[in-house]
Amino acid sequence: MNKERKLIIAGNWKMNKTAAEALALVKGLKLELANIKEVDVVVCPPFTALADVAKAVLESSIRLGAQNMSEHNDGAFTGEIAAGMLKEFSVRYVILGHSERRQHQKESDELISKKAHAAHAASLRPIVCVGETLAEREGGQMQKVLTTQIRGSLAGLTPQQMDETVLAYEPIWAIGTGRHATSAQAQEAHAFIRTLLAELFGEATARRARIQYGGSVKPSNARELMEQRDVDGALVGGASLDARNFSDIIKNSI
């Protein structure tokens, strides 16, 4: 598949996999993906498995990501993880503003922006998540919601920092529900996001920006989604917990 931008497919393992289970999964992925160069592959295990997975992917093309981080560099923030701590384990990417954290931890766009700035200060690449609920979509609010989230979550970033930022469009109604946006719905949302990025950062930056789709991505729908002009990869949840499923998504995307 000839894409203007290199695809980036990331597996968000969420609160799954012990360190031993994570190593077994990565071992399987390394075998399955040994010859894959056309896609940037990222795995995002829980914090407790980062050290072991970092060693396991060291001499492979798989990159390591984290699922969250603090906006602070250090201090009295019990239970939080700083960007510098992630860097110690050769983490390259960090997911910020996932819908589950927006919903359950009440994370605001302002907080996500602070985290994005902290990530860039540590030379980590944020994967910033945005997306609407079913009620918002059915109410014709998709564009309004995305505009608010993107303006707020990316506030203050420079075009250069945006070049090192990945966006993930995840319609909340399609996460873990078995439903997914049609390829046309995904393309519509991604095209709108790119138009908004052009307004905020300029046409050239918007053209370079990589926008993932997240929401019940499976081997069976990966190709159709990735063929869309403005879809530049996937943020994969449940299907990334199985080496064969995740590998098939990647192979079907090429």
Inter-CA distances, 234 with 7, 86, 210, 216, 217, Å: 8, 22, 10, 10, 7
pTM: 0.97
pLDDT of residue 2: 65
Mean pLDDT for the stretch of residues 94-122: 97
Q: Is 190 a catalytic residue?
A: no
pLDDT of residue 195: 98
pLDDT of residue 181: 84
Percent of the chain with pLDDT over 70: 99
Inter-CA distances, 76 with 24, 120, 122, 145, 152, Å: 35, 22, 20, 34, 26
pLDDT of residue 179: 74
Q: Cβ atoms within 10 A of the Cβ of 38, count?
A: 13
Q: Give residues with Cβ within 8 angstroms of 4, minimum separation 6.
A: 207, 229
Long-range contacts of 52-60 (CB under 8 A, 24+ apart): 52/19, 52/22, 52/23, 53/22, 53/23, 53/26, 54/89, 54/90, 54/91, 56/23, 56/26, 56/27, 56/30, 57/26, 57/30, 58/90, 60/30, 60/33, 60/34
pLDDT of residue 64: 98
For residue 148, give the 3-state DSSP assignment.
helix
| Cβ burial 192-215 (10 Å sphere, 16+ → b, else e) | bbbebbeebbeeebbebbbbbbbb
Q: Whole-angstrom Cα distance, residue 31 to residue 247?
A: 10
Sign of torsion over alpha carbons 251, 173, 100, 106: positive
| pLDDT tens, residue by residue, 152-204 | 999 999 999 999 999 999 999 887 777 778 999 999 999 999 999 999 999 99
Active site residue: 98, 120, 180, 190, which one? 98
Decide if pLDDT at 73 tops 70: yes
pLDDT of residue 125: 98
| pLDDT tens, residue by residue, 143-153 | 999 999 999 99
Mean pLDDT for the stretch of residues 14-42: 97
Q: Whole-angstrom Cα distance, residue 33 to residue 29?
A: 6
Active site residue: 120, 136, 170, 180, which one? 170
Q: Whole-angstrom Cα distance, residue 80 to residue 207?
A: 35
Decide if pLDDT at 31 tops 70: yes
Percent of the chain with pLDDT over 90: 92
Q: Cβ atoms within 10 A of the Cβ of 145, count?
A: 17
Q: Whole-angstrom Cα distance, residue 135 to residue 69?
A: 29
Measured in degrees and rounded to the nearest 5, phi and psi for residue 61 equal -90, 0
| pLDDT tens, residue by residue, 88-105 | 999 999 999 999 999 999
Q: Whole-angstrom Cα distance, residue 188 to residue 206?
A: 15
Mean pLDDT for the stretch of residues 213-226: 94
Q: Is 170 a catalytic residue?
A: yes
Mean pLDDT for the stretch of residues 229-249: 97
Q: Report residue 86's pLDDT band, with 50, 70 and 90 as the boundaries.
A: very high
Q: Is 12 left (phi over 0), alpha (psi -120 to 50) or beta?
A: beta
Q: What is the DSSP letter of 5?
A: S
Q: Is 19 left (phi over 0), alpha (psi -120 to 50) or beta?
A: alpha
pLDDT of residue 177: 75
